[in-house]
Amino acid sequence: MSDSPIEGGESSRLLFQLHERRFEQNRFVYPVVSRRSRGVSVGVNLNPDKICNFDCIYCQVNRTTPAEQTFVEMDRLLDELREICRVTQSGELFEHPKFAATPPHLRRFNDIAFSGDGEPTTYRNFDEIIAACAEVRAQFANPDVKMVLITNASMFHRPHVQRGLVILDQNHGEIWAKLDAGTEDYFKLIERTSIPFQQILDNLLLAALQRPIVIQSLFMKVHGEGPSDHEIMEFAGRLNHIISRGGKISLVQIYTVARTPAESWVTPLEQSAVERIASLVQTETALTATAFV
């Protein structure tokens, strides 16, 4: 059930923790070595103001300090993306001290990922930025480099987001959609949002009916307790509902807290617990479920 996405010892583990929102003087674009991408992921931050429509208890974004940037400068973002794509594609990135220890099997340009300090689909010109970044990808990256949207699925029903998802589909895109709960009570505990759980479930189905999606699920200990077996079974049931309605799920990513979370009473699960959840999900759904630890 668990593959071995982390290899190379402690140096590789430290690399996975370098999810800094700045690379040198960049404001919007940053490279990271991603355990789930198994290579270099070039992040695009569409929420530099740190505003998000979720307030997840495990979020690593420090919202207690003011944002250095309050809006997206489109031209600067695209310039940064061109340069980071260029140095990543050429291999120059690995001459930088932060990336010099990257093991050979991770020295690959895997994707351009839209994530950052909030929910990227809340960006008002989401379809336009996806189109512009697709042009940069076509010019500066190999055709096999993906465009990945890391999202909480809250805005999929909006027309401009729908347009952006179609552009993503046309450019080797993938949707990595968050689902961290099986029951509404647990959803409210973890995500702390006014958005109804059913809206998220409906939007996941909407997206999965149009293309295969990846489900990304973070489970953790809350006040020392991991999710109950009942919660995991309900979670599996939500996935089964999507499949039974004709939706397509290509992968379920099961992982835990890797960096300092928003709340001190949130702590990571043990490796064995993450692997057990992945095993249960795969057994109950017949989907491919991969544990990342």
pLDDT in tens, 184-216: 999 999 999 999 999 999 999 999 999 999 999
- Residues 56-111 have pLDDT tens digits of 999 988 877 777 777 899 999 999 999 999 999 999 999 999 999 999 999 999 99
Flag whether 180 is in a domain.
yes
The boundaries of the domain holding residue 285 are 10-292
Flag whether 172 is in a domain.
yes
CB 234 within 8 A of CB 280: no
Mean pLDDT throughout 229-244? 98
d(CA 64, CA 55): 12
Flag whether 2 is in a domain.
no
Helix (H) or strand (E) holding 128: helix 126-140
Which of the four pLDDT bands, split at 50, 70 and 90, describes residue 23?
low
pLDDT of 122 > 90? The answer is: yes
pLDDT of 16 > 90? The answer is: no
CB 215 within 8 A of CB 253: yes
State the Cα angle at 61 between 58 and 66, rounded to 5°: 140
pLDDT of 291 > 60? The answer is: yes
Mean pLDDT throughout 134-147? 96
Residues 6+ apart with CB under 8 A from 81: 28, 29, 42, 44, 112, 133, 136
Helix (H) or strand (E) holding 237: helix 229-244
Lowest mean pLDDT among 5-14, 97-106, 220-229: 5-14
DSSP H helix total and E strand total for the chain = 8, 10
Residues 6+ apart with CB under 8 A from 255: 36, 216, 217, 218, 219, 274, 291, 292, 293
Question: Measuring CA to CA, how many Å separate 90 from each of 18, 95, 99, 147, 158?
Answer: 21, 11, 14, 18, 37
pLDDT of 21 > 70? The answer is: no
Flag whether 173 is in a domain.
yes
pLDDT of 10 > 50? The answer is: no
Flag whether 5 is in a domain.
no
- Residues 155-190 have pLDDT tens digits of 999 999 999 999 999 999 999 999 999 999 999 999
Helix (H) or strand (E) holding 289: strand 289-292
Angular region, 59: left φ>0, alpha ψ -120 to 50, beta rest? beta
DSSP 49: T
Number of residues that this document lists for the chain: 293
Mean confidence (pLDDT) of the chain: 91
Flag whether 3 is in a domain.
no
Residues 6+ apart with CB under 8 A from 93: 31, 40, 84, 87, 99
pLDDT: which is higher, 8 or 155? 155
Could you tell me the pTM of the whole model?
0.89
Domain count, the chain: 1
Flag whether 4 is in a domain.
no
d(CA 140, CA 90): 10
Flag whether 143 is in a domain.
yes
Lowest mean pLDDT among 2-11, 38-47, 68-77, 274-283: 2-11
| Radius of gyration, alpha carbons of the chain | 18
Instruction: State the DSSP string of 7-40.
Output: -SSHHHHHHHT---S-STT-SSEEEEEETTTTEE
pLDDT of residue 11: 43
Q: Is 250 exposed, middle or buried (0-12, 13-18, 19+ CB in 10 A)?
A: middle
For position 205, which CATH number holds?
3.20.20.70
pLDDT of 37 > 70? The answer is: yes
